[in-house]
Amino acid sequence: MLRTVKASAIALSCVVAGVGLAGCDEAEAFTGTRKLTVEGKSVNVSCSGSPVEDRPVIVLLHGGGDSLDKLAGIQQTLSATERVCSYDRLGAGASDQPGEPQTFDSTGRILTGVLDQIAADTPVVLAGHSLGGLIAGRYAPDHQDRVAGLVLLDATSPTQGADLDKTIPASATGLGAELKAQTVAVLRGENPERLAAPDGDVRPAGDIPVEVIQHGKPHLGVVPEYGPALERAWSEGQEKWRGLSSRSNLSTAANSGHYIYVDEPDLAVAAIRRVADQS
């Protein structure tokens, strides 16, 4: 049963009670792209699909250097049966630039502000790619009251910095040294979002369903000398994400590079729907 009637009833209650009622108008099920104000910043949000009774809202988190536009295809597919939203983080796409360097806490507050306005009290499933997966994995343990499930699509390793130190020695030169230096700089916050992503332990997020999907086609071999070791470290990082929940599952997208939801969209969609079903 669609929740359109329920949403209309909420809106009517807001009109009757007045604008002082918390949450009024902010969880309206809009379709299309809208600018929402979160902590004084303009955040670009896209939502599609109808709210469905007893189903979570699916929230897609793009990777670093991307925007919600990259997720348009998978969002459209999912919205045939789910309520789905995506958003540009500060410093990405059409959202405002961050006023200062960001941390997992500050980018998490933006995510919370977005969820307040697009989902209100409805549970959510976070589906994050790469850096978006890292953010989702860091966010869920502290927000078990609203995160009902996770899908991590080739999420950045929770120990990416240490992984690089282990695989590319300080004595490396040429492409190996350049790759390490560039990645370390990004992890320090030298990226469009100004988001620092230090290593950290994977903390449990309760017993929520978690799907961790890693790429199957090697793509870290741009530096042949270190490529195999980098691939092994990446796989080990994906295994660490299983620590999020006792109900976690790790699988490999055999025909995918890093962009699993582009290379094998049906696989990604099935995983997201499966987690929504289980949550």
Query: In sequence order, which residues have a C-beta less than 8 Å from that of residue 226 and are 6 or more positions away?
Result: 167, 168, 172, 176, 179
Q: Answer yes or no: are the C-beta atoms of 197 and 104 closer than 8 Å.
A: yes
Average pLDDT over every residue of 36-43: 97
Assessment of whether the complete model's pTM goes beyond 0.85: yes
**Does residue 200 register a pLDDT over 80?**
yes
User: Measured on CA atoms in the order 7, 9, 10, 16, is the torsion positive or negative?
Assistant: positive
The predicted-structure confidence for 115-169, as pLDDT tens digits, reads as follows 999 999 999 999 999 999 999 999 999 999 999 999 999 999 999 999 999 999 9
- Please count the residues of the chain: 279
Whether residue 23 is predicted with pLDDT greater than 50 in this model: the reply is: no
Enumerate residues 6+ apart whose C-beta is below 8 A from 80.
49
At 181, list the tokens.
């230096």
pLDDT of residue 10 exceeding 60:
no
Beta carbons of 98 and 193 less than 8 angstroms apart: yes
pLDDT given at position 224:
78
**The pLDDT value given to residue 222:** 66
* 153 within 8 A of 268, measured Cβ to Cβ: yes
Give the closest residue to 102 by CA, choosing from 129, 134, 72.
Answer: 134
Nearest residue to 71 (alpha-carbon basis) of 128, 113, 114 = 128
The DSSP secondary structure of 156-218, one letter per residue, reads PPTTHHHHHHHHS-TT--HHHHHHHHHHHHHHHT-STT-B-----PPPPBTB-EEEEEEESS-
Instruction: Kindly tell me if the per-residue pLDDT of 17 is higher than 80.
Output: no
Per-chain mean pLDDT for the chain: 90
pLDDT the model gives residue 220: 73
Q: What is the pLDDT of residues 76-120, one digit of tens each?
A: 999 999 999 999 999 999 999 999 999 999 999 999 999 999 999
pLDDT for the residue 16: 28
203-248 residue pLDDT tens: 999 999 999 999 999 877 667 788 899 999 999 999 999 999 999 9
What confidence tier does 175 reach under pLDDT thresholds 50, 70, 90? confident
Residue 170 CB: number of other CB atoms within 10 A? Answer: 7
Residue 43: CA count within 13 A, CB half-sphere: 28
Using DSSP bridges, classify how beta strands 147-153 and 124-129 pair: parallel, antiparallel or unpaired: parallel
pLDDT score at 225: 85
